[in-house]
Structure 1
Amino acid sequence: MPTEGTGSPGHCDAVVELLGVDLRLNGPGVREDMEEFLLASGYQLGKTIGEGTYSKVKEAFSHKHRKKVAIKIIDKSASPEEFIQKFLPRELQIIERLDHKNIIHVYEVLESADGKIYLAMELAEDGDIFDYVAHRGPLPEHCAGALFCQLVEAIRYCHGCGVAHRDLKCENVLLQGHTVKLTDFSFAKQLPVGSRELSRTFCGSVAYAAPEVLQGVPHDSHKGDIWSLGVILYVLLCAQLPFDDTNIPQMLCQQQKGVSLPGHLGVSRTCQDLLKRLLEPDMVLRPSVERLSRHPWLARP
């Protein structure tokens, strides 16, 4: 499980592979209890639409809001103690503060007597950008840019509030029509604005993790988000991950060498320059989101 002060590649694997999906969320009696509790709260529970590290997400109809919503269900009795004591309170505190058009809005947080927490959230019915790219293949540069600019704005807002997401990946970037909606702040951390506080905690997915995170050295979580943005941009343009995450030592070597885009994609030099800056292996040289937002590729009409 995620632990402050640890961060070796072996630890990374343990975090990534610990799914935390408890079978007690699936039993018929439990489902009836959940349905009754949510119905009494104004939500008619529907199908499962996703699973997080320590949670499950279901579709529901909100009689209160008169529309479909997403309900994130967290069973505290089935989650590691550190997650309940540290990460969950952080998430709840952070999501109450965030208000941005490119971030999934949380309508309310409910807790039942049996220790389950329910987050009633905005529903992005068009899936995530991982599936979007999987169905369409590499996106034309202007299409990738339209999506990526919105994601950068979401991260710019988060970092401006002192929030590092720490689990940026294609599966956490949802679509509502053509609008990007960032979600899942399970491993987010609140930092004082302008703080240079470093972390050793590994959070998220190996494929999107910056070199310094994989190496377990003290790192700037905001700069880790920037690297993850680079991985996401690469996926949008190439429909594949930039690095093979099945062998972490080998992956670290690949990260140091950098990436190049296939010539047949016809990606502009300006875009390639941005990608190179995002996937800068030296954390100190990697740009902040403010500097990133002024890059010519993102500033174009």
Structure 2
Amino acid sequence: MTASKPIQESDAAPLFDTGSVIEGKWLLMERIGKGGMGEVYRAHQLNLKRDVAIKLISENLLQELEENPEEIETAFGRFEREVQVMARVRHPNVLQIYDYGSVAVQRGGRQIPVAYITMEYIPGNTFRYTMSETGFDDEEALLVVWLREYFLQVLEGVQAIHGFGIVHRDLKPENILMDGETPKIADFGLARTMQMPAVSNSWDVKGTWPYMAPEQFSDFRRAGREADIYALGKILFEAIHGRMDPKQLPFKSVGLDDPRTPLLVALDGIIRRATSEEKHLRHQSVAELQLDVAAALKARECEISAAALPAPPMVRWIWAGIVAAVLAVAAMTAYHLFGLLEGRPSAPNQRAVQAPAGSAREDRGKPAPTRLAADGRTMHLVPAAADRPAFYTDLSPVTFHHYLEFLNSVADRLGVADGVVKHGEEIWIYLGDGSAPHEQVIYQNGSFQLRDARWAARPVVRVTWLGARAYARHYRKQLPDLVQWRAIMTAYPPSPAGGTLDRSGSTPDPHAHMMTSLPNDAGGSPVLSSGTAFGASVDVNKEWIVARADKRDDRLTSRIASWPRDGGIAPPLQRQAWEGFVDVGFRTIALLD
């Protein structure tokens, strides 16, 4: 066997420019990830109007392997196998694949083939976000929630994968994506099945060392399900103990230093067995690991119940039953008596207490963490709070691409003159003459287009409050008010990188509109960037919102001008509904059905 040379990360140019369209239907919005195995882009599927993720073999990989045709074939074989592996599994805790193909890229005067996968786009955090950096060992209640709500779901996903004869071989928190509250296993680049031949004969170590089983180091191609169980044991260990020290010796069994409660003692035994250096001593299936975790949780639940309900003497139980029976008879007699005196029916199945408001929704279960809106954007749930109900929100401002799709869908009802787009007397967006970088929208041959397609993924600007509201109405959504916008910023804070009725039932007044500034995690000037780096950039640091109705009357008012500058958030500003600004974008929300 020969040793393959390592793939080094470099600053090589991306395979595609933002705004490129692959095979006529995948519009690349922005590059969201890059590593040794491939590049990942957020894209928009034009024919189905939905956001997707596209993974390609990276320019970096091509450069490193170009001189060795055998290694290029190996890389493409592994990439194609990822498609085959992922396409076989349909499970709520496994990332869904949509399509596979290949295109040619011009490099150095010749065509280089590039393979791609399109898959479910998950814009949220990774599984690491659900874990504590210092561990849950001192917060057992939080540990129980994490086990029930998150870890057992991950086990369900891995069990589904193993059910198809597939071994992942690179399980770690960063390869599990969070779709709201639902973990989804992703990144199958190192996966294999028992039916498929090994792709490479090279002597190279693939995987992530802290989660890698000993046999995966000694013979990667033969690593089986036990290697995934070892990685799951390491993830469980991290959740309780805290993030592993990079200097910690890999390929070793781990355990808790000082388990002080029965639950921690049980979990310590589970971790030590799952991470045993001898694979035959580990759990032999994920189902077996699941049963052990569930048994530990059940034992804790029984222990708490027993402590909370000490058993009284038998005689006391007998008298308690007699008293309860007498009271029940007396209550029924009084109920019938008062029912007859007040002229009410006294049918035995009549309910004495009405169900609390909202219980019907609760009976139907929790609302889904995400929702696909009519404009093709994935909206995420913002849970209810004391001052407002739950609602769905865009995670980022509406882009040039999505706003142009909206304009073109209603183009026959619009007028364009002197660089201004109007619907009747309402100004929706200012176009400009193209002399400024942000003046990207043009009207040509009866349709709205971009001067430079690389701006497609950036937040649309120069849209008025009226134009933002029109977009929201068209897709059966609305603009957030200040309370909702603040909740969005709390639930999904942005990273500063590089008429519809309001809830009061009032019709918005075109002059009662606000702009709010976005928070800056670094504490400086607030900035929101799409992450696309090219040419001159325009930072969008404000968004249009709807002013909340005054509780004393039915008119919308802008009497919410002061807002503490906590977290770098500026007070809202009042502006005219027909104004458009270079640094103002907007997002939409949708109330629950």
Scaled to the shorter chain, the TM-score interval is 0.7 to 0.9
Letter in 2 for 1:275: I
Q: Following TM superposition, by how much is the alpha carbon of 1:190 offset from its aligned partner in structure 2, in angstroms? A: 1.3
Select 1:62's aligned residue among 45, 55, 61. 45
Partner of 2:118, secondary structure, is strand
Shift of 1:125: 2.0
Q: Is the 8 A contact 1:49 1:57 kept in 2?
A: yes
- TM alignment of 1:167-182, pairs within 5 A: 167-182=170-185
User: What are the residue-to-residue correspondences of 1:55-94 with 2, within 5 Å?
Assistant: 55-75=38-58, 77-78=62-63, 80=65, 81=71, 83-94=74-85
Match of residue 387 from structure 2: none
Shift of 1:245: 4.6
The answer to whether the Cα contact below 8 Å between 1:72 and 1:119 also exists between their aligned partners in 2 is: yes
The structural deviation recorded for 1:275 is: 1.6
Structure 1 residue aligned with 2:315: none
Partner letter of residue 104 of structure 1? L
Q: Does 1:18 align with 2:20?
A: no
Once the two structures are superposed, the pairs formed by residues 1-301 of structure 1 within 5 Å of their partners are 18-19=7-8, 23-25=12-14, 30-31=16-17, 35-38=19-22, 41-75=24-58, 77-78=62-63, 80=65, 81=71, 83-114=74-105, 115-133=113-131, 138=136, 140-145=142-147, 146-192=149-195, 202-216=205-219, 219-241=222-244, 244-246=245-247, 250-252=249-251, 255-256=252-253, 258-261=254-257, 263=259, 267-298=263-294
- Give the TM-score of the pair, scaled to structure 2: 0.41
Equivalents in 2 of 1:136, 1:124: separation in Å?
26
Identity, % of aligned pairs? 23
> In structure 2, what residue type is equivalent to 1:23?
A
SS in structure 1 at match of 2:169? coil
- Contact (CA 8 Å) 1:164, 1:190: kept in 2 or not? yes
User: Would the aligned equivalents of 2:259 and 2:268 in 1 still touch at CA under 8 Å?
Assistant: no
How well do the aligned residues superpose, as a CA RMSD in angstroms? Answer: 3.3
Kindly provide the amino acid, as one letter, of the partner of residue 103 in structure 1. V
* Change beyond 3 A, Cα 1:109–1:79: farther
Deviations 1:151-178 (A, max 9, x none): 1111111111111101111110110011
Whether the 8 Å contact between 2:211 and 2:250 is mirrored in structure 1 is no
- The aligned counterpart of 1:197 is none
Measured against aligned partners, the alpha-carbon deviations of 1:114-156 in whole angstroms (never above 9, x if no partner) come to: 2222222112222101244367964822232121111111111
In structure 2, the CA distance between the partners of 1:217 and 1:74, relative to structure 1 (3 Å rule), is closer
Contact kept in structure 2, 1:22 and 1:78, CA below 8 Å: no
- 1:58/1:72 contact within 8 Å kept: yes
Mapped to 1, the partners of 2:100 and 2:174 lie a distance apart of 23
Query: What SS does structure 1 have at the residue aligned with 2:27?
Result: strand
1: CA distance between counterparts of 2:159 and 2:285?
A: 6
What's the offset of the Cα at 1:204? 0.8
CA contact (8 A) 1:144 1:233 kept: no
Structure 1 pair 294/232, CA: closer, same or farther in 2 (3 Å)? closer
User: Secondary structure at 1:295's aligned position in 2?
Assistant: helix
The Cα of 1:68 is off from its aligned counterpart by 2.3
Distance 1:53 1:150, change over 3 A: farther
Q: Match for 1:92: what amino acid?
A: V
Distance in 2 (CA, whole Å) between partners of 1:292 and 1:52 is 34
Residue 284 of structure 1 aligns to a residue whose secondary structure is helix
The answer (yes or no) to whether the contact 2:95–2:120 under 8 Å persists in 1 is yes
* Residue 259 of structure 1: how far off its partner (Å): 1.9
Residue type at the aligned position of 2:268? Q
Deviation for aligned residue 1:52: 3.4
Superimposed CA distance per residue, residues 31-87 of structure 1 (whole angstroms, 9 cap, x where no aligned partner): 16xx3333x533332233222332111222333333322121224734642542542
SS of equivalent to 1:31:
coil
Range 64-73 or range 168-177, more displaced: 64-73
Q: Are the equivalent residues in 2 in contact too, given 1:158–1:164 (CA < 8 A)? A: yes
Alignment partner of 1:23: what SS? coil
1:122 maps to a residue whose letter is: E
How many residues end up aligned between the 2 structures?
A: 272
Alignment partner of 1:112: what SS? strand
Contact 1:59 1:69 in 2 (8 A): yes
Whether the 8 Å CA contact 2:134–2:241 is kept in 1: the answer is no
State how far apart, in whole Å, the 1-side matches of 2:217 and 2:261 are.
30
Counterpart residue identity of residue 260, structure 1: L
TM-score normalised to the size of structure 1? 0.76
Counterpart of 1:118 in 2: which secondary structure? strand
Q: Is the 1:20–1:55 contact (alpha carbons within 8 Å) kept by the matching residues of 2? A: no
